[in-house]
Amino acid sequence: MDRATKALVAGLLLSFGLWGCGYSLQGRATPLPQEIRTITIPTMTNQTLEAGIENAFTRAVIREFNLDGRLKVVRENRADSLLEGSIQDFSLYSTAYDASGLALEYRAQVIMGVTFRRIDTGEILLEAPSLTQVDEYRVTSDIPTDEGRKEAAIDEIARQLAETIHDLILERF
């Protein structure tokens, strides 16, 4: 046998061996019950003093599920499941200073909890009471610029937490 034929035979044997031992690629499979095909995501509750922060998080979570498509986001009266979230804490901490003691950089931190449940039975499928995410941003002496950077940090935290929530529900790693 030539080298190419040996490589082909070895590859086929390896494939059959992996197939025979139950190994499979998961791809877009989900550990959810088969009857859970839709999700409703009402506006998150905001327990912080940061006005409007709940909107950024709600949009980010809806976007994450829409991008994936395994659970279709629908109105509550058409949904199989419900994802409720609560932003529990929003904090800003200065982390770097210039020579005169003025802040150069801030760390934004959000703590939120989520509960994912079946609508028909009320069974809780996932509960994550305190998910935490941080992002840092540089500040300047220009207040509008700093506010824009703070909003961008909040959006990034929301995006990262939305990805975490999505993965907890659909991937269960």
The CATH number of residue 121's host domain is: 3.30.160.150
Backbone angles phi, psi at 61, to 5 degrees: -70, -45
Q: Is 10 a domain residue?
A: no
Domain count, the chain: 1
Q: Is 1 a domain residue?
A: no
* Per-residue confidence (pLDDT) for residue 20, from 0 to 100: 43
- List the Cα angle 42/47/49 in 5-degree steps: 120
Average pLDDT over residues 58-66: 97
pLDDT digits (tens, 9 = 90+) for 23-37: 333 444 557 888 999
What integer best gives the mean pLDDT of the chain?
A: 86
Q: Is 142 a domain residue?
A: yes
Band (pLDDT 50/70/90 cuts) for residue 17 is: very low
What is the pTM for the complete model shown?
Answer: 0.79
Judged against a pLDDT cut of 90, whether residue 139 lies above it is answered with yes
Cα four-point dihedral sign 47, 50, 55, 59: negative
Q: Is 128 a domain residue?
A: yes
Judged against a pLDDT cut of 70, whether residue 9 lies above it is answered with no
Of residues 155 and 8, more confidently modeled: 155
Q: Is 50 a domain residue?
A: yes
pLDDT digits (tens, 9 = 90+) for 126-135: 999 999 999 9
* Per-residue confidence (pLDDT) for residue 95, from 0 to 100: 93
Q: Is 6 a domain residue?
A: no
* Per-residue confidence (pLDDT) for residue 2, from 0 to 100: 57
DSSP helix/strand/coil, 125: strand
* Per-residue confidence (pLDDT) for residue 11, from 0 to 100: 52
Q: Is 152 a domain residue?
A: yes
Q: Is 156 a domain residue?
A: yes
**Whole-number percent of the chain with pLDDT over 90:** 75
Average pLDDT over residues 149-159: 97
Average pLDDT over residues 133-150: 94
- In whole angstroms, give the CA distance from residue 129 to residue 63: 22
Residue pair 140/103 in contact (Cβ under 8 Å)? The answer is: no
Joined together, the tokens standing for residue 35 give 């009857």
113: containing domain: 30-170
Average pLDDT over residues 144-166: 96
* Per-residue confidence (pLDDT) for residue 171, from 0 to 100: 85
